[in-house]
Structures are given as structure tokens and as C-alpha cells.
């Protein structure tokens, strides 16, 4: 993604297309399949097809496949039953997919489809999405301009939860395959579709079972490329910028648990367990992680692309970015310039921490014997889970000493006291309480391996396809505005967190204009501009056809 930073009056720089700091691929369109591609382009432009496609997405939106944080495993919770209705709908809507492709149901509700290619020497492509959506907050229903599961197409927008995240990926890829089947297309390169069921709550019931099935069926590094949801398009008046994400931050949820002696609240200690917990939280928040720029980080590569191709970028900042390539002093100055005032940029350039959950106490006149909080960390690409854990202990040590509490730090005892705090006879210190630091949910995740961009044919393949599809879009036809592809990154996590062993070429990219979302995802009035859904179908179709004839993929 390109981050909006200090824009000024646009300036045109034709020479940027040759900038070595962010080289661009040539457009890639089907050649052997040119006639079929042109035929499908005409079909996708027809009003009949468009209305059918809008209804396909709208119908999927009407099925509320909500993923709750407290869902038990499939077979143990009736709230999973709604996925059966979605599967029945998909079978009805995409009959050729379900009679031609080999369908495998994984862990009851996750779906994997295999479309056999004629050349077994070619590694398959893997297109993934997820079936689930974020639940609706019942208290916000009255704020929706259309009912949250209406799936209504109003002439411009398709309304409802999941219309942005991620039923376009699900329905769009199935629509592309169904359309290719209708035209009699038989692939040379196999195509695999995989659809998770609980990405919105961490993917634990969908991602690992899909991964295990794919590894058992195809093996490690068996896919030429994987494309999941993620990065987006930034379509402006003077430039189109696409940012397929090649990296994701890591993830760690710290649980802070403070235990103290209870008793009647009429005789309180100086600090209750809740008070101590509050002090520890303040200590963490007073010591946020410091953002850094690293030349081998994806964000820094993205900055170089901004300096090379973004006509709206402030010229002073453009110069600072370019100078930082060869000067460490300039790199430090750029770091300060970027991070001193913009909270979003600080979040992008550092490990973040946010206290999201807290609990403690059972009665107003009883001292709480235990209080706990969960602190969410999104780990920068240059860091690690162990580095974050080490830093947490270092930051909390002064507070633990202040409150006279011992520390169980991820299973190891840490004494916060100084050596001379014990008496001369070596008697052990009497602590007022204890804090236990642990992995809250056992879901710690290292930063994702970065998909290579420099001299990587797979990156050239997806870049060239993005450029070609964008240049021939409804908005791009007849326009001479440049289309730029810059490697992006995600500060959240997708189901690809489980798929690292399947391929080295993981791209998180949805080919949807960021301005085509009415109010964003995960919020009130989620809606997708209908035209953007057609562009996504065009993208999936071109990816499949290009992959069938390219020499850029294994």
C-alpha cells in the first residue's frame, strides 16, 4: 500500500518509469488464449453478466456466515450450520465448478477445489479466500443505510457484511472459473481454490486443516504462486498504484496476570492486584516500541516506489527518500521526518502494542486475588516473538520492583530485586504478589517470510498482470495515466499465515480500488461498488489465463 504522506501539488515526471529503485514490469495479457480472453472481456462488459454477478455476490452476502471468537470446533457448535447453507448456494450458483472440479471438504466446512491441468510438470496456482465474516453488533443495526445482510444492489453499491471482506474473493474467483468453464476452457496448469472458514477470528479451524490437506496432497513448495486477500488499488486522477502485499507482521498476545493475597476490602493493602496491574499497563504504554526504517524492509521498498512514481508526493520528502538509499545520516533524518507526527506511520514502522482485554474482581467488598489483561502486539518484520518477550520483561522489571512483586516470565523465574535487597543472612524476599507473563491464546506468530520482489519472476508475473488488467479496465481504457506496482505489506494477518510451506511466492492482493468501499470493512455500512467486483473477476480470469501460458512461473 502507498501511505498518504505530505502530498503537494502534482508534478509529472515521465522519467520515473525507468527508475531503478522500483523497476516496473511490462503489461502481461494472454497471447495463446487471446481470443478466449477477448470473448470473456465482452461477456463481462454485458449488462446481463453484470447483473448476474452482482446477484451472485449479493446472495452470498445474505447468508450470515459469522465467525465468533468463542466458536467451538465444527461439530460442537450449532453456529457453524449456516455454512451448509452457503455451500448449497455455491453449488446452485456455480454448477460447472461443482461438476468439473474435484471438491474436497476439510474440517467439515472449509472448501478446496482442484481443477486438473493437462501438463503435470507445471506447478498449480493457488487462489484462496475465506467464507466467514465479522459478526454484526446488534446495537448498530439502526445505523445501516441498508439491512446488514441485504445483499442489495442499488444501482451502484452492493450492500452488506462481507461485501468487502471477503466474499468478493470467494465469489469472484468462483465466477471466473465458472465463466472459463462455460467457454470450454481446459487448463494446462492446474488451478486450486481454497476457502477458509474462520479467518476473522484467527483461522484456526480453517487454515491449518487446509494447509495439512494441501501438504499431504501436493507437498511442500508445490504451488507456483498463491494469491489471497490483502493489498489494494489506489486509483487517482493521475496515477494508479497497486500494492500486492509480500509481507505480514507477526502477532503476539501477552497475558498479564497479577496474583495477590485477598481479604476484606475494609483493610486494603497499598496496591490491590488491580492497582498493580494498572501500574504495569501504564509502564508498558509509557514505553512504546520505537519505529525504525530498515533498507531491507518492505516498507522501505514501498517508500522508494513512492519517491519514484507518486506524483502527489511532497518534493522535499521525495528527495529525502532518495538520499536515504546511500546515506545512513539521511536514513535517520527520514526516519524522524516520517515517524514524529503520524500515528499510522509509527504503527507501520514498529512493533505495536494495545491493551485490549482486562478482567479482575468478583465483589465490591472483597480484595481481588487475581487481575489480568491481554496486550496485543503486531510484530515488525525486523523483530521476532522472542525479541518482543525479552523487551516486555525489561520494560516491566522497574514496575515489578516498585510494587514488590515477583515475575514468572514465560515459564522462567525473574527476580526484579537488586542483589543487595536481601538481608545479610540470605533470607528470601517477601513479595507482595506475583505477575505471570504468558502467551494468552497460544497463537504467537513470527513475522511472515517476505516474498522476494527483486529478480523474482513470480513478482514480475503478478505485477504485469495487474498492470494489464488495470490499463484495460473501464476506468483505464483510453487513459494514459501510469499504472505502478509497489510491494506492500499487511499490519494484520490473513490465512496465509498457515501457508508458508506451500510456496515461496505468496501475494496478498484483492485488486479492489480502495475508494470502491463505501465505509470500509468490519464496520457499519459495509458496501462494495459493483463495478469494482467486475474488475476483480477480470483479474482472477486474467491470472488463470496468464498462468496457463507464462514462463515466469514454475
- Show the beta-strand stretches assigned E in 441-537: 483-485, 488-490, 506-513, 527-529
What is the tens place of the pLDDT at every residue in 317-327? 999 999 999 99
Average pLDDT over residues 411-432: 68
Is the pLDDT at 419 greater than 70, yes or no? no
Q: Are 133 and 64 in contact (CB under 8 A)?
A: yes
Write down the mean pLDDT value for the chain: 93
pLDDT at res. 342 = 77
Residues 498 and 228: their CA atoms lie apart, in Å, by: 12
Is 447 contained in some domain?
A: no
Is 203 contained in some domain?
A: yes
Average pLDDT over residues 129-154: 97
Q: Is 130 a known ligand-binding residue?
A: yes
Q: Are 205 and 83 in contact (CB under 8 A)?
A: no
Q: Is 554 a known ligand-binding residue?
A: no
Q: Is 114 a known ligand-binding residue?
A: no
What is the tens place of the pLDDT at every residue in 176-202? 999 999 999 999 999 999 999 999 999
Is the domain of 230 the same as that of 268? no
CA angle 170, 176, 178 (to 5 degrees): 100
pLDDT at res. 491 = 87
Cell numbers that stand for 354 in this block: 494495545
Last residue of one domain, picked from the residues 416, 439, 462: 439
pLDDT at res. 89 = 98
CATH number of the domain to which 183 belongs? 3.40.630.10
Given 66, 178, 199, 335, the catalytic residue: 199
Q: What strand order describes the sheet that includes 433-439?
A: 352-360, 370-379, 250-260, 433-439, 405-409, 412-414
pLDDT at res. 13 = 36
Residues 269 and 267: their CA atoms lie apart, in Å, by: 7
Nearest in space to 437 (alpha carbons), one of 399, 392, 395: 392
CATH number of the domain to which 423 belongs? 3.30.70.360
Pairing between strand 102-106 and 245-248? unpaired
pLDDT at res. 131 = 98
Is the pLDDT at 358 greater than 90, yes or no? yes
Is 115 contained in some domain?
A: yes
Average pLDDT over residues 398-405: 96
Confidence of residue 149 (pLDDT cuts 50, 70, 90): very high
Is the domain of 256 the same as that of 217? no
Q: Are 463 and 225 in contact (CB under 8 A)?
A: no
Cell numbers that stand for 401 in this block: 520492583
Is the domain of 41 the same as that of 174? yes
Is 346 contained in some domain?
A: no
- Residue 131 neighbours by CB under 8 Å, 6+ apart: 65, 83, 86, 109, 111, 167, 170, 195, 196, 197
What is the tens place of the pLDDT at every residue in 452-506? 999 999 999 999 999 999 999 987 776 788 999 999 999 889 999 999 999 999 9
Q: Are 405 and 431 in contact (CB under 8 A)?
A: yes
Number of folded domains that form the chain: 2
Q: Is 386 helix (H, G, I), strand (E, B) or coil?
A: helix
Q: How far, rounded to the nearest angstrom, does the alpha carbon of residue 402 sit from its chain's CA centroid?
A: 39
The pTM for the full model equals 0.91
Is the domain of 282 the same as that of 384? yes
> How many angstroms separate the first and last alpha carbons of the chain?
27
pLDDT at res. 343 = 80
Element (H, E) at 546: helix 530-549
pLDDT at res. 17 = 46
Is the domain of 173 the same as that of 97? yes
Is the domain of 176 the same as that of 130? yes
Average pLDDT over residues 155-184: 98
What is the tens place of the pLDDT at every residue in 13-49? 333 345 788 999 999 999 999 999 999 999 999 999 9
Cell numbers that stand for 55 in this block: 446477484
Is 365 contained in some domain?
A: yes
Cell numbers that stand for 311 in this block: 506524483
Average pLDDT over residues 377-391: 96
Nearest in space to 252 (alpha carbons), one of 360, 412, 361, 380: 380
Is the pLDDT at 8 greater than 70, yes or no? no
Is the domain of 393 the same as that of 422? yes
- Looking at 442-498, list the stretches that DSSP marks H as alpha helix, in order from N- to C-terminal side: 457-471
Q: Are 416 and 406 in contact (CB under 8 A)?
A: yes
Helices (H) and strands (E) in the chain, counts: 14, 18
Residues 429 and 167: their CA atoms lie apart, in Å, by: 58
Is the domain of 229 the same as that of 260? no
pLDDT at res. 427 = 41
Last residue of one domain, picked from the residues 395, 424, 439: 439
Residues 491 and 447: their CA atoms lie apart, in Å, by: 10
Is the pLDDT at 222 greater than 60, yes or no? yes
Q: Are 396 and 280 in contact (CB under 8 A)?
A: yes
Confidence of residue 340 (pLDDT cuts 50, 70, 90): confident
213 vs 10: which has the higher pLDDT: 213
Q: Is 377 a known ligand-binding residue?
A: no
Residues 402 and 70: their CA atoms lie apart, in Å, by: 37
pLDDT at res. 74 = 97
Q: Are 37 and 545 in contact (CB under 8 A)?
A: yes
Is the pLDDT at 117 greater than 80, yes or no? yes
Last residue of one domain, picked from the residues 439, 459, 479: 439
Distances (CA, A) of 323 to 15, 305, 317, 329, 332: 18, 14, 10, 9, 11
Is the pLDDT at 424 greater than 70, yes or no? no
Task: Classify residue 26 by its DSSP letter.
Answer: P
Confidence of residue 137 (pLDDT cuts 50, 70, 90): very high
Q: How far, rounded to the nearest angstrom, does the alpha carbon of residue 320 sit from its chain's CA centroid?
A: 29
Nearest in space to 246 (alpha carbons), one of 447, 382, 384, 450: 450
Residues 272 and 276: their CA atoms lie apart, in Å, by: 6
Is 411 contained in some domain?
A: yes
Is 457 contained in some domain?
A: no
Task: Determine the structural domain holding residue 416 and report its residue range.
Answer: 250-289+351-439
Cell numbers that stand for 27 in this block: 503489461
Is the pLDDT at 426 greater than 50, yes or no? no
Q: Is 422 a known ligand-binding residue?
A: no
Q: How many CB atoms lie within 10 A of CB 513?
A: 23
Percent of the chain with pLDDT over 70: 94
Pairing between strand 250-260 and 370-379? antiparallel
Q: Is 233 helix (H, G, I), strand (E, B) or coil?
A: strand
Is the domain of 395 the same as that of 522? no
Is the domain of 386 the same as that of 523? no
Is the domain of 164 the same as that of 228? yes
Active site residue 132: yes
Active site residue 480: no
Is 382 contained in some domain?
A: yes
Cell numbers that stand for 54 in this block: 452482482
Q: How many CB atoms lie within 10 A of CB 359?
A: 13
Is the domain of 154 the same as that of 282? no
Amino acid at each position: 500500500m502507498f501511505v498518504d504522506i505530505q502530498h503537494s501539488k502534482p508534478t509529472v515526471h515521465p522519467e520515473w518509469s525507468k527508475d531503478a529503485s522500483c523497476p516496473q514490469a511490462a503489461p502481461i495479457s494472454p497471447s495463446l488464449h487471446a481470443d478466449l480472453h477477448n470473448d470473456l472481456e465482452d461477456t463481462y462488459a454485458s449488462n446481463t453478466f453484470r447483473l448476474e454477478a452482482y446477484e451472485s455476490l449479493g446472495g452470498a452476502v445474505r447468508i450470515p456466515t459469522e465467525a465468533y471468537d468463542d466458536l467451538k470446533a465444527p461439530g460442537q457448535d450449532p453456529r457453524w450450520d449456516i455454512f451448509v447453507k452457503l455451500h448449497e448456494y455455491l453449488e446452485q450458483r456455480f454448477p460447472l465448478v461443482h461438476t468439473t472440479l474435484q471438491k474436497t471438504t476439510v474440517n467439515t466446512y472449509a472448501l478446496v477445489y482442484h481443477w486438473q491441468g493437462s501438463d503435470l510438470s507445471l506447478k498449480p496456482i493457488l487462489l484462496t479466500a475465506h467464507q466467514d465474516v465479522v459478526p454484526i453488533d446488534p446495537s448498530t443495526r439502526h445505523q445501516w443505510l441498508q439491512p446488514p445482510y441485504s445483499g442489495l444492489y442499488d444501482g451502484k453499491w452492493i450492500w452488506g457484511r462481507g461485501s468487502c471482506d471477503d466474499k468478493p474473493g470467494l465469489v469472484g474467483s468462483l465466477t471466473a472459473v465458472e465463466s472459463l468453464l462455460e467457454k470450454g476452457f481446459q487448463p494446462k496448469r492446474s488451478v486450486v481454490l481454497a476457502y477458509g472458514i474462520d479467518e476473522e477470528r484467527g483461522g484456526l479451524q480453517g487454515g491449518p486443516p487446509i494447509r495439512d490437506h494441501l501438504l499431504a496432497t501436493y507437498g511442500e513448495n508445490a504451488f507456483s504462486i498463491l494469491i489471497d486477500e490483502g493489498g489494494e488499488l489506489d486509483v487517482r486522477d493521475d496515477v494508479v498504484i497497486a500494492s500486492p502485499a509480500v509481507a505480514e507482521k507477526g502477532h503476539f498476545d501477552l497475558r498479564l496476570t497479577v496474583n495477590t493475597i485477598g481479604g476484606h476490602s475494609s483493610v486494603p493493602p497499598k496496591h490491590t492486584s488491580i492497582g498493580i496491574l494498572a501500574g504495569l499497563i501504564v509502564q508498558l504504554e509509557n514505553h512504546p516500541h520505537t519505529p525504525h526504517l530498515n533498507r531491507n524492509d518492505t516498507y522501505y521498498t514501498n517508500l522508494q516506489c513512492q519517491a519514484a512514481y507518486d506524483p502527489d508526493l511532497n518534493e522535499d520528502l521525495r528527495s529525502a527518500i532518495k538520499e536515504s538509499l546511500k546515506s545512513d545520516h539521511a536514513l535517520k533524518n527520514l526516519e524522524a521526518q516520517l515517524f514524529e507526527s503520524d500515528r499510522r506511520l509509527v504503527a507501520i514502522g514498529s512493533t505495536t502494542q494495545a491493551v485490549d482485554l482486562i478482567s479482575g474482581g468478583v465483589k465490591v467488598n472483597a480484595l481481588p486475588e487475581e487481575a489480568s489483561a491481554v496486550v496485543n502486539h503486531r510484530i515488525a518484520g525486523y523483530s521476532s516473538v522472542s525479541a518482543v518477550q525479552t523487551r516486555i520483561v525489561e520494560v516491566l522489571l522497574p514496575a515489578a520492583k516498585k510494587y514488590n512483586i515477583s515475575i514468572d516470565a514465560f515459564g522462567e523465574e525473574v527476580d526484579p530485586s537488586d542483589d543487595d535487597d536481601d538481608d545479610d543472612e540470605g533470607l528470601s524476599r517477601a513479595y507482595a504478589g506475583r505477575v505471570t507473563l504468558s502467551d494468552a491464546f497460544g497463537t504467537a506468530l513470527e513475522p511472515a517470510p517476505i516474498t522476494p520482489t527483486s529478480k523474482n519472476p513470480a513478482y514480475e508475473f503478478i505485477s504485469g498482470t495487474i498492470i494489464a488488467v488495470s490499463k484495460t479496465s473501464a476506468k483505464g481504457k483510453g487513459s494514459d495515466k501510469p499504472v505502478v506496482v509497489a510491494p506492500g505489506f499487511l499490519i494484520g494477518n490473513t490465512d496465509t499465515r498457515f501457508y508458508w510451506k506451500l510456496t515461496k511466492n505468496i501475494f496478498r492482493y484483492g485488486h479492489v480500488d480502495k475508494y470502491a468501499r463505501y465505509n470500509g470493512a468490519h464496520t457499519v455500512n459495509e458496501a462494495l461498488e459493483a463495478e469494482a467486483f467486475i474488475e476483480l473477476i477480470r483479474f482472477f480470469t486474467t491470472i488463470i489465463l496468464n498462468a496457463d501460458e507464462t514462463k515466469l512461473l514454475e
